[in-house]
């Protein structure tokens, strides 16, 4: 019976760890999706911005993306993204975006 107890306890711990890893993977996937959604929306909006620096926020069903942007030179813009999922996981990333010719003023 001791061996059965040890095996059962080990399996419960393995299962618990798998649940935790699955939750982390889901949150990572949400974060990556929010980054892509935020960048795509920003690229659609960038031509409407009147200043070379600023911040924008985008609200999506799975979380929020805040982007602080600044023009580095005539070809590149730096984007500082702060992501927060709907379950309060947070992530920050810096993205350098190349401006196309149509974005130049």
Whole-number pLDDT of residue 49:
86
Whole-number pLDDT of residue 104:
45
Helix (H) or strand (E) holding 84: strand 76-85
Whole-number pLDDT of residue 102:
55
Joined together, the tokens standing for residue 15 give 């299962």
Nearest Cα neighbor of 63 from 39, 87, 47, 93 is 87
What is the value of pTM for the model shown?
Answer: 0.83
pLDDT in tens, the chain (105 residues): 889 999 999 999 999 999 999 999 999 999 999 999 999 999 999 888 888 899 999 999 999 999 999 998 888 999 999 999 999 999 999 999 998 765 444
């Amino acid at each position: 019976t001791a061996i059965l107890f040890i095996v059962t306890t080990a399996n419960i711990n393995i299962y618990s760890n798998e649940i935790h890893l699955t939750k982390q993977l889901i949150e990572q996937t949400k974060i990556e999706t929010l980054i892509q959604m935020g960048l795509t929306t920003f690229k659609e909006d960038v031509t409407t911005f009147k200043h070379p620096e600023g911040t924008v926020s985008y609200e999506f069903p799975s979380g929020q993306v805040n982007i602080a942007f600044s023009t580095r030179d005539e070809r590149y813009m730096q984007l500082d993204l702060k992501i927060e999922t709907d379950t309060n996981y947070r992530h920050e990333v810096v993205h350098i975006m190349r401006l196309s010719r149509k974005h130049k003023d």
